[in-house]
Amino acid sequence: MSNNDDLKLTRARTSFAEAVLDLVARIPASRVLTYGDVAEYLGTGGPRQVGTVLATEGGSVPWWRVVRSDGTIPARLRAQAMSHWQVEGTAIRDARVDMPKAKWSGDVGAL
């Protein structure tokens, strides 16, 4: 697998950050996950840790595919995320992600 080389693109990263970035990078377009779901999927840490990782190294992954449980995100990122969601065709509901429709099942083959 060449994805190992990707790990060298940035700084050392911890095992947790590595797992978060890896999972976020695997989220298919038009699909989103909540911070809590990412943490639960990894089996460790919590939603705050996921946010901390994305705030630190999120520039290298599709962070807009990770949103709050309400389908919203911080005002600082809302405009940017909205633009990406529209381009990728993500289900949107009144300036928020339509979680019931856009939430990723964890299976890339599910459509």
Partner DNA sequence: GCAATGACTGGTA
Partner DNA sequence: TTACCAGCCATTG
Which spans in the chain are helix H? 3-6, 15-26, 35-42, 47-57, 75-88, 99-102
Is the separation of the CB atoms in 39 and 45 below 8 Å? yes
Using the minimum distance from each CB to DNA, give the nearer residue, 34 or 90: 34
Residues that bind DNA (CB under 7 A): 14-17, 34-36, 44-56, 58-59, 63-64, 66, 68-70, 73-74, 77
CB of 106 to DNA, least distance (A): 16
CB of 97 to DNA, least distance (A): 12
Instruction: Give, in order, the Cα–Cα distances in Å from 76 to each of 66, 80, 86, 94, 106.
Output: 14, 8, 18, 18, 27
CB of 26 to DNA, least distance (A): 16
Structure token pair of residue 90: 């993500």
CB of 89 to DNA, least distance (A): 20
Using the minimum distance from each CB to DNA, give the nearer residue, 2 or 43: 43
Using the minimum distance from each CB to DNA, give the nearer residue, 103 or 111: 103
Using the minimum distance from each CB to DNA, give the nearer residue, 100 or 109: 100
State the pairing for strand pair 92-93/96-97.
antiparallel
